[in-house]
Amino acid sequence: MAQAARKHQAEAFVLVSTDKAVRPSSVMGATKRVAEMLVRSFSRKAERTRFVTVRFGNVLGSSGSVLEIFQRQLAEGGPLTVTDAKVTRFFMTVPEAVQLILQASSMAKGGEIFVLRMGTPVKIIEMARNLIMLSGLEPDKDIKIQITGLKSGEKMDEELALDHADLKDSAHPSIMVLREAEVRDLEKDIMNLEILTRTAPSKTLVQLLNELVPSFTPASSHAKGTGVSA
C-alpha cells in the first residue's frame, strides 16, 4: 500500500497502528511495529506523499471489540468471559478515533508517529460488571463472569510508548508525537519476509521479526483460553 501511494503520489498515507506495537508479545503486535518502521522509512525518500502513523488503543463499538462481544454474551445469558481480573486496556469511541486520525493526518509533515491520549486504562472486568448492571441485572448472580486465563501473546496491560519521556505535545491537546531515532530502509527486509512466508517454518519468521523488533518477546506458551480482554 505504501509503494502504491508513493508511485501514484498520493497526498498522504496514514497507517493506523496499535498500542500492541509497544513491547510486542504477539506476531500481530510485532508486525504492526514493523509497519510503523516501514512507513517512517518511506517518508525519508517521499517526494510528494506525507507518510504518517497514528497509534492508539482499543476502539469501543468497532468490529470484534470487547463491548460487542460482551453484548452478544449478555444476550445469550452469559457468562461474560474475561481472561484475568487485573487486565486493563485503553479505550476510545469510534467518533473520537476518526476525528483524531483526520486531525493527525492534517497536522503531519511526514514521518511522524502520532500517539493519541487515551486517558486512564480501564479494567476489563469492571467493564463487564458495569454492562451487566446497566442491563438491570446483578453480576455473578444473574449473569456470571468467567475468568479464563491469559491467552498466548496477551499482556496484562498495554503501553502507548516504550518510554513516556519520548512523547512530546503537539498543537492538538489530544495528540502527542513520538520522538524516535531514524530507521533503516526496510523494503529488502519486507521482501525477505515475503519470500520466507512461502519457504520457511514459522519459527524462522518469528526470529526475523525479533531481529527487526528487538523489544518483541514472543509468547512461548499455548493459549490457555478463549476469554476476552481487548
DSSP-assigned letters across all residues of 113-125? EEEE---S-EEHH
Grid cell at residue 111: 514521518
Which among 7, 20, 155, 203 is annotated as catalytic?
Answer: 20
- Cell triple for 60: 469501543
168 catalytic per annotation = no
Q: Provide CB contacts within 8 A for 14, sequence distance 6+.
A: 52, 53, 54, 101, 104, 105, 108
The answer to whether 26 touches 78, Cβ cutoff 8 Å, is: no
Whole-number Å distance between alpha carbons of 190 and 33: 13
Which residue(s) pair with 88 in the sheet? Answer: 123
Alpha helices (H) along 51-122: 66-75, 94-107
Q: How far is residue 25's CA from residue 211's CA, in Å, rounded to a whole number?
A: 14
d(CA 116, CA 29) in angstroms, rounded, equals: 17
DSSP secondary structure string for all residues of 155-203: -SS--S-S-GGGEEE-SSTTEEEE--------HHHHHHHHHHHHHS-HH
List all residues 6 or more positions away from 174 whose beta carbon is below 8 Å from its beta carbon: 100, 103, 116, 117
The residues annotated with a catalytic role in the active site are 20
